[in-house]
Amino acid sequence: MEWRGPVVLVALLAIGAGSGYAASAQSRDASPGSGVATPVPAQRPEMPVEAPRPYAPDPDDPALQPDLQMAPATLGTGKFEITFPAPVGWRTNANASNEWKWKKPGTSNNSYVMRIEQIDSQDITIEDAIDIRIDRLRDEQEDVEILDRGAASLEYTYRSNEGNARHSFMRWLDLDLSGQADVEIVVHGRERDVAGAKDLIRRVAEGMSGAGGGPL
């Protein structure tokens, strides 16, 4: 009988490999696991979201009312003189040579206030003035929300440096019809002051005139 070594060897190897695979298959545990599932950490966890900060309490001064008693007032001199109706009894304070703040005596900070600024020396259009104001607000204040933008007006809310919620109205005027902004008016207040602030800035803007005294 001839010895067929290579053939027998291949057969034995095949049998051994098959047996090993079968044993391995039998040893694998395919039964359901037990215990409590635990979360797997995300590969890219999101940054935690900062909780909203509450606003500081509003001063409890009575709300600014519409239809205030007004009287003529004048600011500036010469060709920079402007005349407009101002609330009777309010006092003015010059922040700069071309900027004045009007406030009712005895009212708290972060209640309500009016500011008037002559900006004719800046040689910018009203549209540019509004763009600049919005950029400054977003750079310098927190929680700024633009509520309404008109051709010469802006309404917005923001968080004051003391943490109070503020609601503001702004108007720009071209008194000499030159195409450039001459005056900027703003009234800041609380939510309870909105009706009065809106009425006040409208009346001041509509009643304002330049050195020539002509209508807007």
Kindly tell me if the per-residue pLDDT of 152 is higher than 90: yes
Of these ranges, 52-56, 119-123, 181-185, 208-212, the one predicted with the greatest mean pLDDT is 181-185
User: What pLDDT digit, counting tens, does each position of 87-121 carry?
Assistant: 999 999 888 888 999 999 999 999 999 999 999 77
pLDDT band at 2 (very low <50, low <70, confident <90, very high): very low
Q: Which residue has the tokens 């919005």?
A: 134
- The whole-number pLDDT of residue 108 equals 96
Kindly tell me if the per-residue pLDDT of 64 is higher than 70: yes
Kindly tell me if the per-residue pLDDT of 195 is higher than 80: yes
How much of the chain, in percent, has pLDDT values that exceed 90? 64
- The whole-number pLDDT of residue 47 equals 59
- Largest separation between any pair of C-alpha atoms in the chain: 134
Q: What class does CATH assign to 71-206?
A: alpha beta
Distances (CA, A) of 101 to 92, 114, 116, 186: 5, 6, 6, 10
Q: What is the pTM of this model?
A: 0.75
Distant-in-sequence contacts of 207-210, Cβ < 8 A, 24+ apart: 207/70, 207/84, 207/85, 208/82, 208/83, 208/84, 208/173, 208/175, 208/183, 209/82, 209/83, 209/84, 209/175, 210/81, 210/82, 210/175, 210/176, 210/182
- The whole-number pLDDT of residue 43 equals 62
What is the mean predicted confidence (pLDDT) over 183-210?
97
User: What pLDDT digit, counting tens, does each position of 75-85 carry?
Assistant: 988 888 999 99
